[in-house]
Amino acid sequence: MILAGMMISSMLGGTTASSIMYPEQTIEPSIVNMPISAWIIVAGDRSDHNDLEGIKNGCNQTYATLRAMGYTDNQIYYLSPDTGDTGVDNATNLANIQYAVETWAATRVSAITGLGFWLESHGGPHFMCIPPGASGLTDSQLNASLAILQNLTGLRNIIILYDACESGAYIDHLSGPGRIIMTSADETHDSAGTYPGLGNALGRTVFGHTIWTQIRANKTLGEAFKEASWNVRQLIGVEYPLIDDDGNRVGHRANGDWWLPASGDGYVALNNKISRSVTLLAFIPFIYAPLPLIYNISLPLLPIWAIIQNQSEIKSVHAILNPKKWTPPAPIEDAEGMIRGDVSFLQIIELTDQDGDGNYTGQFSNSSLTQTDYKASIYAETVDGEIAHVVSTIITLNENGSAPQDTVGPEVEIINPIANSTINGTLTVVARGDDNQKLDTLEIYIDGQFLNTTTMPTEYPYPEFMHTLDTGSYTNGVHNITVLGIDAAGNKNSASILVTFANGSGAIAGFDVPATLVIVGCVLLAIAGDVITKSRRHELNE
């Protein structure tokens, strides 16, 4: 792999990877710790048992994570079709779910402590598949059980995470004051299960794996949702996680597939972590990948590599190759909801660190590729089960392996604030850019006045560019925010939005989380599924 090693050195400006000093990722101090005193885990199933092993594995790993966080068996009620799995208390069915919520939890939660759920299964419009099949557990039934529990205990706050196809439909019935709801898909799309190839590597859904990685690492629920949203969009594409924590029965996607708050949702989740009795030393690895690569179509093998920054042992690093605008085939839907067909990625390979220096290399086969653009997504997992922030790059195949003259401007996006929003107080402008070859700088302007600039690194990921300003320093009224991107060839492109500054009018603050949104006690319900997004969609790699 000498060629790949040389490319890594070139990519980083001639510096060897082992000599690079990257900032360490640390566990931040807690913002507000939610005292979750009990958890209910429910593993669902279809009558045909499609992907049952993946569902059980995801729930088993959730159980193991909770135990590692200090929860005892007396604080976890686990329902599964397989009562022989470790920690399982009873079989999954409607009666046992009702008992778990209305009776078991009633002796373990109160007005100042919360309840958490992790539910994972297949799903359909307003229902989660549980044995014996058909309509399963509906959102109305779950909401009714939660209402009974609240009446008995005074429970005031509920957080719902749902990982299943069409799971976003649950938001409409379960949303309400004091409830945080996160789903893995919207009300009309499926949620990726354990894909062939990818499933063998991760053994669980990308959404669930990422959510629990972030929780283990003491991140806020909002940070967990942001990271899960990013990873599923990079690896899966057609999957749209939603969040609702303002109680208005409308879920939203993270802005730009990664940023919160989004249209009022996300403030509460960003300000709350799950309390635990054991502090885990959970270190999430970080991936650095090459900028867009160009290869001659005649090459039989195409090198791909990544540099992994980590503080714990790496279990595996994989790279997935698909056409740049690839989307999975449409799922199959019947009376028991959606299921994904037998889908495999174009290629999935394992990258290896041959010298122990953090350089992971591999080669894609070129036996069936054509002259076009491909998206290569790289993910890593530690031996403790943490999954890294997924990083993608572009591989282009052409006749000579050389980059054409760059005449195309960068792609630029303003992630925060949302266009036409009304803002007061402190505002953090967040922008993102990409380029077909090399993005050089991003610049932020307000009403044509230059505010700030940043230079992009020589490897992916390009960081978000953030600039904080005091809207009180400007006149009330409409203002233009523009972000200008300039690539290495000097090409330019910009994105602009109009927003209204309204200080003294009681408008929603620009970015800072209001102190009034602190949760004192919380019920956490996590269910696996698809989420609906109301916010705009944009991918820089599209």
- Distance of alpha carbon 276 from alpha carbon 486, whole angstroms: 46
Average pLDDT of the residues of the chain: 84
Q: What is the DSSP letter of 493?
A: E
More confident residue, 193 or 368: 368
Domains 284-398 and 418-510 share a fold: yes
pLDDT digits (tens, 9 = 90+) for 365-388: 999 999 999 999 999 999 988 999
Quickly state the pLDDT bin for 420 (edges 50, 70, 90).
Answer: very high
Boundaries of every domain in the chain:
33-281+519-527, 284-398, 418-510
Strand partners, 162: 119, 183
Residue closest to 121 by CA, chosen among 530, 540, 532: 530
Q: Across residues 210-223, what is the average pLDDT?
A: 93
246/506: higher pLDDT? 246
**∠ Cα 525 254 249 (to 5°):** 50
- Give the model's pLDDT for residue 126: 92
Instruction: Please compute the mean of the pLDDT values over residues 62-68 and round it to a whole number.
Output: 93
pLDDT at 329 exceeding the cut of 50: yes
| Digit-coded pLDDT (tens) for 469-486 | 999 999 999 999 999 999
**pLDDT score for 399:** 94
| Burial environment of residue 102 by CB neighbours within 10 A (0 to 12, 13 to 18, 19 or more) | middle
- For residue 496, what are its two tokens? 């602009």
Q: Which CATH architecture has domain 33-281+519-527?
A: 3-Layer(aba) Sandwich (3.40)
Task: Please name the residue that has the structure tokens 């980590």.
Answer: 310
Q: How many helices (H) and strands (E) does the chain have?
A: 9, 30
Q: How far apart are alpha carbons 531 and 497 in whole angstroms?
A: 27
The CATH number of 284-398, from 2.40.30.110, 3.90.190.20, 3.30.1360.170, 2.60.40.10, is 2.60.40.10
Q: How confident is the model at residue 83 (pLDDT cuts 50, 70, 90)?
A: very high
For residue 209, count other CB atoms closer than 10 A to its CB. 23
Residue 469 phi/psi, 5° resolution? -140, 160
What band does 20 get if pLDDT is binned at 50, 70 and 90? very low
Residue 158 confidence class, pLDDT cut points 50, 70, 90: confident
Please check whether residue 369 is in contact with residue 356, taking contact to mean a CB–CB distance below 8 angstroms: no
Helix spans in 105-169 (H):
139-153
Please state the CATH superfamily assignment of the domain spanning residues 418-510 in this structure: Immunoglobulins (2.60.40.10)
Q: What are the residues whose beta carbons fall under 8 Å from the beta carbon of 514, sequence distance 6 or more?
A: 267
| Of 158-162, 321-325, 338-342, minimum mean pLDDT range | 338-342
- Beta bridge mates, 466: 430
pLDDT: which is higher, 393 or 517: 393
Q: What is the 3-state secondary structure (H, E, C) of 450-461?
A: EEEEEECCCCEC
Q: What one-character DSSP code corresponds to residue 429?
A: E
